[in-house]
Structure 1
């Protein structure tokens, strides 16, 4: 299948226990749904207490070696502030739960392992803070993939 049907953007973090926990779940989601058009796009970031100091290549090598990650791993980006990557500006602006109209601003991404589920048209279907485990998104992913048939 040429086009991705569903995409999960996630802000990769370094915390060892969480990293193992989340990366294992993300790899499993990718293995389960990639043939149906699901893709995970991983963006390391060093904005949160400088928890990702490694080089881009070191990060990729680590994730591919330790977790057998096969989804795209991008170079480090900022997700908040004036230097935020355009993808994260778009995701934040287009996520209703992050937009505070009464204050005329957009909430910051709070921490590592934040996730955005995006459909094939680029619509943000959901934002999930770090407390939401990737495996908890299975039903939403399945619904998105089923609705695209």
Structure 2
């Protein structure tokens, strides 16, 4: 059945502690099986650990800076032209960039060995804040792929 109009855009609500929309989105991304209270406990616990490890910095600022440093500016998308598939570099919109950064941070935090998820998330956020770690490597790799395939930029869709 066809829709006559697009549904109204829902204004995202900030998280309960910082009233920050990016924090709320990150908590939702961290959530598994609908258990939001667990993801909130993990995230706020990680921020507490960041506060202990980086004394002179606000943990929310550390999170925001880490997210900004992990956000890619370009990515490659597969585009089929004739019989061959090209990796076409595309600019990343701000929303998608922060989504990718958050997803990568969570993925690489889960991939760290030992310890609780709180510790692993705190370590990954601190690593991103300092410009190191697996998430930053992934961002750099994405940028390198886009640079290598710059010749196919005219296939943008």
User: Does the alignment reach a TM-score above 0.5?
Assistant: no
Does 1 or 2 have the higher relative contact order (CA < 8 Å, sep 6+)?
Answer: 1
Larger strand fraction of residues: 1
TM-score, length-normalised on structure 1? 0.31
Q: TM-score, normalised by structure 2?
A: 0.30
Which of the pair is proportionally richer in helix? 2
Larger radius of gyration: 2
